[in-house]
Amino acid sequence: MTDPSKPWDGELVRKWLERRLEASRLDQAAADRRGYEAQDEYDKAAAEEWVCRALKSAECTNDQAALAKRLKELIGQDEYQATGIYDDVRFERHVRGHLRKLAKMTKANEGFEKTLRYQ
């Protein structure tokens, strides 16, 4: 699962999750100010925040296999509870999309070094 030339870095993963959490909050605020036409963008940013919150403080970030297992469990969930979103179905679709993206990053052990706000 891991590239032998690049060991798993749990600290880097937590830093990436923290940065994405901050960026998603800023994106939600910007979408909220734009109003009705930005409801999808708000739900997308809220979904990213939900994913980052669910994984940020979890001990599974220290181990690549444990994080992959946790992501698989979250993808298999039927519902994702959140308040303040506009469309539950759209929100859940975005949550699953973010979880799949993270699962691919975890499997390949790459992408966590990209900590800029816009990805």
74 close to 54: Cβ distance less than 8 angstroms: yes
Would you say how long the chain is, in residues? 119
Tell me, what's the pLDDT at 4?
53
**Per-residue model confidence as pLDDT tens digits over 41-96:** 999 999 999 999 999 877 889 999 999 999 999 999 989 988 889 999 999 999 99
Sign of the alpha-carbon torsion through 64, 74, 53, 98: positive
113 in Cβ contact with 12 (< 8 Å): yes
Residue 3 has pLDDT above 60, yes or no: no
* pLDDT of 117: 66
